[in-house]
Amino acid sequence: MAVPVLPGPVGDPSEGPSVLLGPGAADLIEETGIDLLGVAELRRMTGAVGEVAEVPVPVGTATNPSLRLALLVGVGAARPVDLRRAGAALARAVRDRDAVATSIPAVAPDGPDVPGEKALEAFVAGTMLGSFGFHWRSSGPEHTPVRRVVIATPPGSLDADQPALARAVAIGGAGWRARMLATVPSNLKNPAWLAGQAEEIAEAAGLEVRVWDEKALESEGFGGIVGVGKGSATPPRLIRLDYRPSGTSTRAIKKLPHLVLVGKGITFDTGGLSIKPGPSMVSMKRDMTGGAVVLATMAALADLGCPIRVTGLVPAAENAVSGSALRPGDVIRHWGGRTTEVTNTDAEGRLVLADALAYAAAELEPTVLVDVATLTGAMKVALGQQVGGFFATDDTLAAALSEAGETAGEPLWRFPLYAGYEERLASKVADADNAAGNPGAITAALFLQHFTGGLPWAHLDIASVGDVEKELHEWTVGPSGFGARLLLTWLGQAEPLAGIHHD
């Protein structure tokens, strides 16, 4: 059992305890006969978020003979961000156990600023993602997540909490799915495998699915996807998933706003003939994180009751080295006719995204376009590894994404689409150069903007947060899967596209 621990009142320590125990503590003290407050003070707990103290209960209790461990878990100020981090700390503390019961979400102040469902959502996401693990070891996993988490709720609130719990599990599960897809090694994960995953998602979630193979891509003019993928023994794919709100008539569906999500799906990136240094290539199985985020988001839309139409596109290719690979100086023709001179084959993500964006803008009649990609190293230089970058042509769209990121624990920082750098895209032989130089994140965004048809558009460059180098709160070492939670937090609202206008 896990009990929340909060910081005590500020003042003279001689006037009261240094920490406070949350709901359920009194019952646990009575059952076990252990002075848990005394233990917390002996361990010098402060109530800071993420603190964990273990208290063995060797023989259980009269009412719970299987109880073997009591946990004291710091929750700080009990804000959603604190409860998310407390959930992750709890998850790590109870790995390999059968079950844990906790009242941690109940400690949050329930009010208009922090409704109870937000606290529950944050705790569940933290607990799920703090448990994440992936292995291909012959001996089995080093650790397994706790098999069951029981959340104690105030009397009479169980029925009211069920929809919030289902939403929380859907959002946390999407984060897990995105992280898992990005972590799968690329000797399995190629474009065809990713398309197979999309087909499984479509069947389970009631989505429509279409996959273009290399012949269809060639014949329909997707020159960016074909060009990047032609150097690989595993040919490229374009994946399309379509979500429609259930219970909506065909006529009503046509009147709904339509969002198109585009996710970069480079299943491995050698850099092509502009080859990456060896150390920089090691983590490139995760260069399809944007595609993983889109697939995970699409899979969870029905569970959240998303009220708008959403289409997900994942241009998937492997950027490999071979005699048929793109060469520096080649010119490719994208879907719709715009041409690009490829002066750096390691700037391949924008080439596949350009095709998908152009197709979406011209053929799908979207209200809003949003793309997600681990696109530029420049973003990592600018922001470090805890904040993602984004660009947007509409202030309302930018505000919605930024707010959703803060709520979900996937923060974003907005960058300018500064037109003064547009001239750096110039090519002597094509409409644009794919490697326009610094400032790299901005010139990449300007390159993509030409394919959006003037629609309201946001570009999430998550290269800064694509990898996690050491465990931190709900983030586990390896590919992060950053972005699914923020997109679902946004799309789970009653009117996610309200106020966004196409000039």
Three-state DSSP at 319 gives: strand
With beta carbons less than 8 A apart as the criterion, state whether 228 and 326 touch.
yes
Q: Is 350 a catalytic residue?
A: yes
Q: What is the DSSP string of 9-77?
A: -SS-GGGS-SEEE-TTHHHHHHHH---HHHHHHHTT----TT-EEEEE-TT--SS-TT--EEEEEE-TT
With beta carbons less than 8 A apart as the criterion, state whether 493 and 196 touch.
no
- Which is the catalytic residue, given 84, 286, 350, 380? 350
With beta carbons less than 8 A apart as the criterion, state whether 39 and 5 touch.
no
Distance of CA 255 to the CA centre of its chain: 29
Element (H, E) at 265: strand 265-269
With beta carbons less than 8 A apart as the criterion, state whether 310 and 259 touch.
yes
Q: State both tokens at 358.
A: 């152009």
Q: How far is CA 330 from CA 333, 360, 394, 409, 433, in A?
A: 10, 25, 34, 41, 10
| Distance separating alpha carbons of residues 146 and 33, to the nearest angstrom | 26
Q: Strand 412-414 to strand 388-392: parallel, antiparallel, or no bridges (unpaired)?
A: parallel
Three-state DSSP at 118 gives: helix
Q: Is 276 a catalytic residue?
A: yes
Three-state DSSP at 478 gives: strand
Q: What is the DSSP string of 214-248?
A: HHHHHHHT-HHHHHHHTTSSS--EEEEEEE--TT-
Q: State both tokens at 375.
A: 């696109």
| Distance separating alpha carbons of residues 391 and 479, to the nearest angstrom | 22
Exposure b/e, 180-206, CB count within 10 A at least 16 = b: bbbbbebeebbbbbbbebbbebbeebe
- Which is the catalytic residue, given 92, 95, 230, 276? 276
Output phi, psi for 127, to 5 deg.
-65, -45
Strand-pairing partners, residue 260, are: 311, 369
With beta carbons less than 8 A apart as the criterion, state whether 248 and 256 touch.
yes
SS (H, E, C) 421-451: HHHHHCCCCCCEECCCCCCHHHHHHHHHHCC
Burial class for 459, CB neighbours closer than 10 Å (0-12, 13-18, 19+)? buried
Strand-pairing partners, residue 475, are: 472
Catalytic residues: 276, 350
